[in-house]
Structure 1
Amino acid sequence: MKPNYVFILVCCILSISQATVATPAASNGFRVRAVNLGGWLVTEGWMKPSLFDAIPNRDLLDGSTVQFKSVTLGKYLSAEHGGGTILVANKIFAMSSETFRLWRINETTFNFRVHNNQFVGLDTTDGVNLVAVENTPCISETFMILRNSDDPNRVRIKASNGFFLQVKTEELVTADCNGNERWDDDDPSIFIMTTFSAFDGEYQITNGYGPVMAPKVMREHWDTFIVEEDFKWISNNGLNAVRIPLGWWIAYDPNPPKPFVGGSLKTLDNAFLWATKYGLKVLLELHAAPGSQTGFALSASRDGTTGWGIDSISPTVAVIEFLAARYAKNPSLYSIGLMNEPSLWISPETVMSYYKAGYDAVRRHSSTAYVVMATRMGALNVTEFLPFAAQLERAVLDVHLYNFDHWTVHDTINDVYTHCQEVVSAVTTSNGPLSFVAEWTGEWMVPNATKEEYQRFVKAQLEVFDRATFGWAYWTLKHVGNHWSLEWMINNGYINFTASNPISDHLRVSSI
């Protein structure tokens, strides 16, 4: 869970009590001290925005939202009642019914999805009037956006019948205009388009570049973003594991379903070779499940829809089975995470049903790999899966603990020692699964914080998260934001894990 997502929930829990701390994950006291290799095999554009720079019309990617204002009426194109009937142009202000989500066909051609999830299309009775009634887009629901070369926000919209949309009245929007070369304010086929580009995940980058360019772009990224030297650096800097987020399409490599491209599996194979060479454990984690379990770009959602549900259990288990079968005998495999932070929209019963099936899939191939089960994103009760996981051998409960609720040093660090400590204690029991803080970071909301204040913040988190019996993983190794990047944090003296006691020896700063 990362921005724009961290504000949904930070260190959440309700009415939890202290619990007895469990024994370490292994008899020798081994605990995971890992770093996430985020943004590598599952794209998150906020981590490396330059990946998207060469996409044509990059503000019109899948999931981007658009609004169209008629220049003649000065009112917005709108799906009446949010969908299920005609299109109108009678709203002075744009809200949900006046906002359309894009499904990108190519750089100029799109489907428009409305608030109630239907798609804009031509009325089949006359082939001219505009309606939003279909749940699945076809040719009639396909439109071209033609931008004015002098003002890209000034557009015409061409329907599949070859004509342009025009606003005849507030209640009559049709596709029967021939168009012309002028872009005058008295032309009813001209709209002012406002775009909001909030999605920058794997679906957006691969579909945005298209089938010719996407394989080249993605393979170059996989080959350069994380390399063998990074694994050596990780090992030399006091860490003992890497957590690798994966997308479900990796199980279908080298020919995954479009728009995803092949090649990530070979990259993962290399990661295992490097991990073995430098003595690191590998924590695999299904970050993007079929249909998207979060609705966010980080889980490869196309347009913000959470499509994962009970019908998704079988294909998701197939992905886990594939990973377990391929890597179970690899000495570096330490755990398999069944799914990253499922949405609150998914019932706990459905999640547990999947977790049991996923656990069994791992066990068919390995009796030693730990199986990691994440709490639901935003769940007020982080212990909801605790009794279930307690019944399973070598099970791990995963919580993510970001700290973005406060704007002062004192309040944020105090929250770590109180609220976040309560979360860790709640999921750490003597007779339950092991506990794992799978994502935390050195970034916070404190403006103009000094290096010493960042060190105090990191110190507090390490003191608390070191109590997790499975361990913890920093988000992430590389990031354009310095304090999100563990590489930058270590290289610049904010964190040092190489001493026997990195908290007391290398972060010797007073607590508040």
Structure 2
Amino acid sequence: MNALFWNLVSLVATTTLVNALPGFPSHIYGVNLGSWLVLESWMLPQEWIDMGGQRCDDCSACVATEFAFAQAYPDTVDAKFKGHWESWFTASDVEALKSAGINTVRIPLGYWIVEALVDRRVEFYPRGGLAQLRRGLQLLHDAGIVVILDHHALPGVQTANQMFTGRCTSDVEFYTPFNYHRALIWTSVMTTLAHLDPAFASAVAIEAVNEPIMDASQTPGYGDFQKNFVRVVRATEYLLGVPAPGFPVLPAPVNGNFSQLLPHINDTVQLFTEEVRSVLLDAVPIILKLGISGISRRSGPLVTNFMDINWQHNNPANPADAQIGPQGYDNHLYYSFGGVADANPDAYLTSICNLNRIQADAALSNSPLWFGEWGLPTQFQATDEFLFQWADAQKLAYSKGAGWIFWNFKVENSQLAGNLSRQWSYLDGVRLGFLTKDPSKLHNPRVCDPYIA
């Protein structure tokens, strides 16, 4: 009876909610565009060295991140990164993804792509990323691939000693009113771009925070931030004349004149809390300076997106409590870092084939759920035979939810990178045959039969 209950919960979560997300395909088959606009030097070690970066065991101890690079090379960082941005993600990559059946990409972004948010006295990042994002989004739109704008690297750093935050440091300061506020300004700016900038037509969702600290006792105020994140998205849309669920509709600004919007920030609409008003008042000058104008290009709201409640422990806030309008949930699962299953093929397959995360999330209203990061890496030397099974079993498990987004679309092929791309690159996984050319298919649909509990 218990198994039947969970199967029904999973079925409801999958069939009734996935299709309700505006702009998304009925099932997500995706990849991350990692190391493009948030560079992680472990994924392209030779290019990083050629740019002038360094490698070290402790990424905080050398020039291993964007922050350290910009601090070390202030006169050349913008040109160096322009070269990287233009070569790492190209029209050829988009064609390869389209040919591989990819319908969704998640683009990791740093807060510094909104350059006005950076305090150049103490924060160091390359400039020019927004133009590159526009270029990539246009290519993806032309290919019919939809986009999740993922706030991957937050102001103040959300997780210690991780390249994906843009700065390796143990000094984690995101979970403060000041940096929550900066992240919300970023959110309003990106929401405006998504509605008004023609290049952003493929953007259908915004993710609030990539991989916050798992221990909720170390993320004070995060539940309030989640609620403010959704309010800021919906309040920004309200000002742009986009229907916010349950709220009146304002006329769109005439000729993109944002000064017309300012009086409405004081409307007695429940969206406009004191913090939301403050965020919008700080965002409008940035939006005006970016030269964004026009009328919303989409008729409906963006999808708000959070890491799911089960990402954290120690009594975390439930992001479902923040929901106003369409919302999706993200979980990341890597076996290669330990703590999930014993380091052997049978344990891996037994674990993944009995995964209950989709059901557990659905019971807490965190549906639809997609797996926004996963890959083929293991803690042991994986044979080719196992990788065929490992790819099938993970796709089978994650497809019971809204779908999956592989990390990463590609990884450097070089002598210095060694065999890295064999298990981390989606395109190489397809080339090698571990991943099927049609992402909806499996080599062996019954791969999990021997392992089901």
What is the TM-score of this pair, normalised by structure 2?
0.71
Q: Pick the structure with more helix per residue.
A: 2
Deviation at 1:275, TM superposition (A): 1.2
Distance 2:176 2:82 in 1: 33
Deviation at 1:509, TM superposition (A): 6.9
Distance 1:294 1:462 in 2: 28
Query: What's the CA shift string for 1:160-189, capped at 9, x where partnerless?
Result: xxxxxxxxxxxxxxxxxxxxxxxxxxxxxx
Aligned to 1:318: 185
Change (3 A) 1:45 1:237: same
Aligned to 1:359: 230
Distance 1:488 1:279 in 2: 22
Deviation at 1:291, TM superposition (A): 0.6
Deviation at 1:54, TM superposition (A): 4.6
Change (3 A) 1:407 1:344: closer
Distance 1:376 1:387 in 2: 8
Query: What's the CA shift string for 1:236-270, capped at 9, x where partnerless?
Result: 21110110000000011798735212111111001
Query: What's the CA shift string for 1:173-215, capped at 9, x where partnerless?
Result: xxxxxxxxxxxxxxxxxxxxxxxx5x7222123223x112211
Distance 1:60 1:411 in 2: 32
Aligned to 1:52: 48
Deviation at 1:29, TM superposition (A): 6.9
1:325-340 correspondence runs (5 A): 325-329=192-196, 330-340=200-210
Aligned to 1:153: none
In structure 1, which of residues 22, 25, 40 is the aligned counterpart of residue 18 of structure 2?
25
Distance 2:166 2:389 in 1: 35
| Residue ranges of structure 2 left out of the alignment (5+ in a row) | 1-5, 243-299, 413-419
Deviation at 1:345, TM superposition (A): 5.7
Distance 1:344 1:495 in 2: 30
Q: Is 2:275 the partner of 1:279?
A: no
Aligned to 1:417: 353
Q: Larger Rg: 1 or 2?
A: 1
Q: Is 2:85 the partner of 1:222?
A: yes
Aligned to 1:437: 371
Aligned to 1:239: 102
Deviation at 1:228, TM superposition (A): 1.4
Change (3 A) 1:382 1:510: farther
Q: Is 2:178 the partner of 1:309?
A: no
Q: Which letter does structure 2 place at the counterpart of 1:423? A: R
Aligned to 2:66: 202
1:368-383 correspondence runs (5 A): 368-375=301-308, 379-380=312-313
Over aligned residues, Cα RMSD in angstroms?
3.0
Distance 1:57 1:231 in 2: 27
SS, match of residue 262 in structure 1:
coil
Query: What's the CA shift string for 1:31-77, capped at 9, x where partnerless?
Result: 22110000110011111112431577936899645xxxxxxxxxxxx
Task: Single out whichever of 346-355 and 373-382 deviates more from structure 2.
Answer: 373-382
Query: What's the CA shift string for 1:322-373, capped at 9, x where partnerless?
Result: 1111122443111100110111466466112111111122222254211111
Q: Is 2:39 the partner of 1:43?
A: yes
SS, match of residue 282 in structure 1:
strand
In structure 2, which of residues 201, 205, 212 is the aligned counterpart of residue 342 of structure 1?
212
CA contact (8 A) 1:383 1:426 kept: no
Change (3 A) 1:493 1:265: same
1:140-179 correspondence runs (5 A): none
Distance 2:115 2:207 in 1: 19
CA contact (8 A) 1:25 1:31 kept: yes
SS, match of residue 38 in structure 1:
coil
Q: Which letter does structure 2 place at the counterpart of 1:251? A: V
Query: What's the CA shift string for 1:454-508, capped at 9, x where partnerless?
Result: 0101111111101123x32100011141210001101121112427x412xx346
Q: Pick the structure with more strand per residue.
A: 1
1:249-264 correspondence runs (5 A): 249-252=112-115, 257=120, 258-264=123-129
What is the TM-score of this pair, normalised by structure 1?
0.63
Distance 1:510 1:422 in 2: 17
SS, match of residue 25 in structure 1:
helix
What is the total number of aligned residue pairs between the two structures? 356
